Amino acid sequence: METLLNPSKTAKLFVPNIPLFKSSFLHSAFNPQTRILFNRKTLSFTITGKAKTSQGRKTDGKNISKKILLSDSAPELSNEEVEPKPKNGGGAWGLVRKLPKRVLAVLSNLPLAIGEMFTVAGLMALGTAIDQGEAPEFYFQKYPEENPVLGFFTWRWVLTLGLDHMFSSPIFLGTLVLLATSLMACTYTTQIPLVKVARRWRFLQSADAIRKQEFSDTLPRASVKDLGVVLMAAGYEVFLKGPSLYAFKGLAGRFAPIGVHLAMLLIMAGGTLSATGSFRGSVTVPQGLNFVVGDVLGPTGFLSTPTEAFNTEVHVNRFYMDYYDSGEVSQFHTDLSLFDLNGKEVMRKTLSVNDPLRYGGFTIYQTDWSFSALQILKDDEGPFNLAMAPLKLNGDKKLFGTFLPVGDTNSPNIKGISMLARDLQSIALYDQQGKFAGVRRPNSKLPIEIDGTKIVVVDAIGSSGLDLKTDPGVPIVYAGFGALMLTTCISFLSHAQIWALQDGTTVIVGGKTNRAKAEFPDEMNRLLDRVPEIVQSSISKQPDSIGG
């Protein structure tokens, strides 16, 4: 390499043997095109300037011509640098590399995401309309092939598509997965880049660029520093760089859409876990009897896993009801005791409707009641426990009855006394001919004689209807809905950006916002009115105009 300082004198300069295109200086100064290097031709760069001596003195003002020559022996570029781009897009490998971007572009499509959400909503509505978890015979009768619903919907659709367990069916879970994928793709391709751009400090050096903003104005005698003070007082983050100013506020509003997407993902994940990882069961237990939690609970999906708490034994200490003045049932209660494997009572609580019992990850709800047995004395003998059976008569939902044989029990035509009850507070008795004999209250100790038999109603023993479930997805769903409400409110915050440029004694101001576009100009005018005006004695001290 040679440097020609004068046509008559040639000085040799030492140049280290460093590959040219790996030198950061030459990259930034010359940046030659790689296609020239493939031709293996000599490159020549001529730089003209004024030289200084080693003592720092200037020359006579003559121009210096510096010529840099690149010979054919210049080092080869690495394969990564010289590899030309295929004209056909890289063939199969190029398609493979472009495939993720194309898939992300399709998944992040807004109409597709909206369609997925409507599909999920439709499936949920269908799951609400169709009874869930029933035996196949139930669907055979309700959706027969002889009389299909809407002309085509029969039990085959229900059982084939898994509509009898909609929220754990492959079609519903697959749609949820697709929607979750679309949300993640939209977050990755759209929301995160928007946040990255919003976080950058963008100084505009051109007055024309500032005037092209949604709002722009000019302050004839003002200082950009005074404007920055006013904006800081209004809650803006302000940055100054020479004559340029950049300010913003409401950056949290840019993060909110990402939070909304994450909240929706949490809700869907929690709902999926609830549908595929829960246990459910129901039991009707007479007062005084026990049951084991694990014997009642059944899995709802492939992620259901039992715990140690399933070995808990539950004892029904007492079941009782509250009544209105009219005699109707107002509330029913169950006093429960929970025992571990060693027979130690670990918890006791009286639960009622809307006041469940929670222990060890499972929850017990009071949902129903029944009439178990009627305890009586017959001719001062007993007590005898007569089982009460549910009856369906004239549409009564709660009607129970029992029968006390009288006379020869081995006779083919057994006769006796009938007893009916709609609740636990009064018993209606009928003689052998079916005629009404009277009403007695349990524990009243008031006897009644029917067909020569004296009867005393000692007690009415009820049964507690309990629903049990484990639902590991509930905390996740609650957290998702809480995050969704919070991020939805945050998303209404406006992300406002303001640019300003000092041009002599004039300040050019411009700004934009993503929300509240009608209120933004009024806010800007109020802020600009607070900027102090520079007095005449200070004008001469302002810097020269930097132009726009």
| Residue 106 amino acid letter | V
| Residue 416 amino acid letter | G
Query: 499 has which bridge partners?
Result: 246, 510
User: Residue range 152-158: average pLDDT?
Assistant: 91
Q: Has residue 88 got a pLDDT over 60?
A: no
Percent of the chain residues past pLDDT 90, beyond the cut: 51
Question: Cα-atom radius of gyration of the chain, to the nearest Å?
Answer: 43
212-239 pLDDT, tens digit per residue, is: 999 999 999 999 999 999 999 999 999 9
Q: Has residue 463 got a pLDDT over 70?
A: yes
Rounded-to-integer distance, Cα 339 and Cα 352, Å: 20
Q: Which of 464, 516, 480, 288 is nearest to 385 (CA)?
A: 288
Bridge pairing between strands 244-249 and 427-430: unpaired
Q: Has residue 344 got a pLDDT over 50?
A: yes
- Cβ-contact 300, 311 below 8 angstroms: no
User: Residue range 63-68: average pLDDT?
Assistant: 36
Q: Which residue has the higher pLDDT, 409 or 20?
A: 409
Rounded-to-integer distance, Cα 357 and Cα 235, Å: 49
Percent of the chain residues past pLDDT 70, beyond the cut: 78
Rounded-to-integer distance, Cα 182 and Cα 355, Å: 40
Quick one: pLDDT band at residue 396, thresholds 50, 70, 90?
Answer: low
Displacement of CA 131 from its chain's centroid (Å): 27
Residue 201's pLDDT is 64
Domains of the chain, by residue range, sit at: 101-186, 207-250+494-534, 275-370+466-482, 371-406+416-462
Q: Indicate the range of 100-109, 196-205, 386-395, 428-437 predicted with least confidence.
A: 196-205
User: Residue range 171-177: average pLDDT?
Assistant: 92
Q: Has residue 64 got a pLDDT over 50?
A: no
What value does the mean pLDDT of the chain take?
Answer: 80
Q: Is the pTM of this model over 0.85?
A: no
Quick one: pLDDT band at residue 60, thresholds 50, 70, 90?
Answer: very low
Q: Indicate the range of 49-53, 106-110, 500-504 predicted with least confidence.
A: 49-53
Q: Which of 227, 231, 123, 224 is nearest to 175 (CA)?
A: 123
Residue 451's pLDDT is 84
506-539 pLDDT, tens digit per residue, is: 999 999 998 888 899 999 999 999 999 887 654 4
Q: Which residue has the higher pLDDT, 483 or 329?
A: 483
Q: Indicate the range of 77-86, 115-124, 242-251 predicted with least confidence.
A: 77-86
Helices (H), 412-496: 474-490
Contacts of 32 (CB under 8 A, 6+ apart): 21, 43
285-300 pLDDT, tens digit per residue, is: 999 999 999 999 999 8
Rounded-to-integer distance, Cα 259 and Cα 490, Å: 9
Number of helices (H) and strands (E) in the chain: give both, helices first: 16, 23
Q: Has residue 85 got a pLDDT over 70?
A: no
CATH number of the domain located at residue range(s) 207-250+494-534 in this protein: 3.30.310.80
Q: Has residue 159 got a pLDDT over 50?
A: yes
Quick one: pLDDT band at residue 95, thresholds 50, 70, 90?
Answer: low
Rounded-to-integer distance, Cα 316 and Cα 517, Å: 64
Angle, alpha carbons 257-262-263 (nearest 5°): 95
- Cα-Cα-Cα-Cα torsion 321, 326, 328, 329, nearest 10 degrees, comes to -30
SS3 187: helix
What is the DSSP secondary-structure string of 71-93? -TTPPPPPHHHHPPPPTTSSHHH
Q: Has residue 74 got a pLDDT over 80?
A: no
Q: Which residue has the tokens 């492939």?
A: 302
Rounded-to-integer distance, Cα 278 and Cα 305, Å: 8
Residue 90's pLDDT is 53
407-429 pLDDT, tens digit per residue, is: 776 777 788 899 999 888 899 99
Q: Has residue 22 got a pLDDT over 80?
A: no
Residue 412's pLDDT is 75
Q: Token pair of 466, please? A: 């309990």
What HEC string does 517-535 produce?
CCCHHHHHHHHHHCCCCCC
Q: Which residue has the higher pLDDT, 38 or 183?
A: 183
Residue 68's pLDDT is 32
Q: Has residue 39 got a pLDDT over 90?
A: no
Residue 347's pLDDT is 96
CB atoms within 10 A of CB 392: 8
What distances in angstroms separate CA 247 from CA 193, 201, 230, 364, 507, one per listed residue? 20, 8, 11, 56, 14
- Cβ-contact 82, 76 below 8 angstroms: yes
Q: Is the backbone of residue 379 left (phi > 0), alpha (psi -120 to 50) or beta? A: left
CB atoms within 10 A of CB 233: 11
Residue 532's pLDDT is 92
Residue 167's pLDDT is 87
User: Residue range 25-45: average pLDDT?
Assistant: 37
Contacts of 377 (CB under 8 A, 6+ apart): 383, 384, 455, 456, 458
Residue 233's pLDDT is 94
User: Residue range 175-184: average pLDDT?
Assistant: 92
Rounded-to-integer distance, Cα 59 and Cα 56, Å: 9
> DSSP class of residue 190?
I
Rounded-to-integer distance, Cα 495 and Cα 504, Å: 30
User: Residue range 66-95: average pLDDT?
Assistant: 44
